[in-house]
């Protein structure tokens, strides 16, 4: 399809791991991104992965990329209440300045 797809909601308990999934559309997309949006704020870049990588780790964040299935995931270890936000997956398609974003996954972390 044309859309970058994400599930709308995820609820986890504090201290557990969260896994947010995304399916993108263009197998030639060179960069894939995860953004975080807290209430009342714009999108904040969390991390990105280049398409020739399978995995990228950055502190509590692990990004996994399956190019064959065009599937991207973001794992947050030891999830905290401050991680509650909306997480957006985005792909940069061939066009230099064109990004495509998913609808966002709202992560709710319960104490």
Give the binding site for another protein (CB under 8 A).
3-4, 8, 31, 33, 35, 40-45, 48, 88, 90, 92, 96-104
Please, are residues 107 and 83 in contact by the beta-carbon 8 Å criterion?
yes
In the complex, the smallest distance separating the C-beta of residue 45 from another protein, rounded to whole angstroms, is 5
- For 33-54, the three-class secondary structure string (H helix, E strand, C coil) is EEEEECCCCCEEEEEEEECCCC
Please state, in angstroms and as integers, the Cα–Cα distance from residue 97 to each residue in 32, 43, 85, 100, following that order.
13, 17, 26, 10
In the complex, the smallest distance separating the C-beta of residue 92 from another protein, rounded to whole angstroms, is 6
Phi, psi of 83 (to 5 degrees): -85, -10
In the complex, the smallest distance separating the C-beta of residue 15 from another protein, rounded to whole angstroms, is 29
- Looking at the Cβ atoms of 12 and 48, the one nearer to another protein is 48
- Looking at the Cβ atoms of 41 and 68, the one nearer to another protein is 41
In the complex, the smallest distance separating the C-beta of residue 111 from another protein, rounded to whole angstroms, is 26
- Looking at the Cβ atoms of 31 and 78, the one nearer to another protein is 31
Phi, psi of 110 (to 5 degrees): -95, 135
């Amino acid at each position: 399809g044309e859309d970058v797809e994400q599930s709308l909601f995820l609820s986890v308990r504090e201290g557990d791991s969260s896994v947010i999934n995304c399916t993108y559309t263009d197998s030639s997309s060179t960069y894939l991104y995860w953004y975080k949006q807290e209430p009342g704020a714009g999108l904040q870049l969390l991390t990105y992965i280049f398409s020739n990588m399978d995995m990228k780790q950055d502190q509590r964040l692990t990004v996994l990329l399956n190019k064959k299935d065009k599937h991207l995931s973001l794992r947050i270890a030891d999830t905290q209440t401050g991680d509650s936000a909306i997480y957006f997956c985005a792909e940069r398609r061939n066009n230099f300045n064109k990004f495509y974003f998913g609808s966002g996954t709202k992560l709710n972390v319960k104490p």
